[in-house]
Amino acid sequence: MAETAQPQLYLITPPTLSLESFPDQLAAILDSVPVACVRLALAGSDEDAMARAGDALREVAHARDVALVMAEHVQLAERLGLDGVHVSGGKHNLRKLREELGADAILGTHCGTSRHDGMNAGEAGADYVCFGPAGTSGLGTGAQAEAELFEWWSEMIEVPVVAEGALDLATIERLAPFTDFFGIGDEIWNRDAPLEALRALCAPIS
C-alpha cells in the first residue's frame, strides 16, 4: 500500500459473509472501482471458516493485483499466503510482529483516536495506521477521530493513514485532502447494491 496524493479505497469485508455469493460480489466491485487493499475481517474464531474465506478472497484479489490482509489472525494469514495483517492497537507487540512477518508483508493497525498510539505504531514498523470512527457513530464510547487529527498527521507524519468508521459523503469530502485511504465496509455492505453505494459514497474522490 503506497502513499498517494489522491486517497485510495481500502475495502473491509462484512463480519459474516456467504462464500456462495460474496466472492463474486467482491470481484464485481474490484472490476469496476480502483481498490488498493481488502481486509478480511470476519467475526468469531472459526479458523476453518476463515481459511475458506481467505482462500476464496485471495484468488479474487490477487487475480486483480489487489492486496488482501487479514484482521488479527497473524499465523493464519501467513499460512494462507495473504499479503499481511491488520491488528487492533494494543493487542500485539508491533515491533515483534514486524520481525516475524518480515519487511515485505503489510502490517497495519487501528489506533482509534490516539495520535500517540499512531506515532508509536509508525515507529514500530507499521505500514499504515487507521484512525476512527472518522464519522459520527453511536457505537462504543462515541469518540470520533476529528479532521484535525488527520490534518496534523498528513503534515507531520510520513506513515500512510486510513480513515474508517461511520463514513458518509460529507466526511469523505472533508477528509480527502488529509488521508491516504478510506476504509469502507458496513457503509456499503448493508445496502442493497454495494457497488452503487460505493460509487455514490466516493464521488468526492472519484
Domain layout of the chain by residue ranges? 8-205
Segment 12-57, tens digit of pLDDT:
999 999 999 999 999 999 999 999 999 999 999 899 999 999 999 9
Distances (CA, A) of 178 to 12, 63, 112, 162: 20, 30, 17, 10
What is the pLDDT, as a whole number, of residue 138? 64
pLDDT attached to residue 137: 77
pLDDT, tens only, 90-128 = 667 999 999 999 999 999 999 999 999 999 999 999 999
For the segment 189-198, what is each residue's pLDDT rounded down to a tens digit? 999 999 999 9
- φ, ψ dihedrals at 193, nearest 5°: -130, 85
Q: What's residue 139's pLDDT?
A: 62
Instruction: Specify whether domain 8-205 bears CATH 3.40.50.10490.
Output: no
Segment (H or E) for 24: helix 22-32
The three three-digit cell numbers of residue 148, written as one number:
484535525
pTM as predicted: 0.95
Which pLDDT belongs to residue 202? 95
The answer to whether the beta carbons of residues 70 and 77 sit under 8 Å apart is: yes
Q: What is the pLDDT of residues 154-201, one digit of tens each?
A: 999 999 999 999 999 999 999 999 999 999 999 999 999 999 999 999
* pLDDT for the residue 2: 44
Rounded average pLDDT over 59-87:
97
Q: Is the pLDDT of residue 140 over 70?
A: no
What is the pLDDT, as a whole number, of residue 28?
Answer: 97
C-alpha–C-alpha distance, residues 15 and 53, integer Å: 11
Alpha-carbon Rg for the chain, nearest whole angstrom, is: 16
Other residues' Cβ atoms within 10 Å of the Cβ of residue 144 = 19
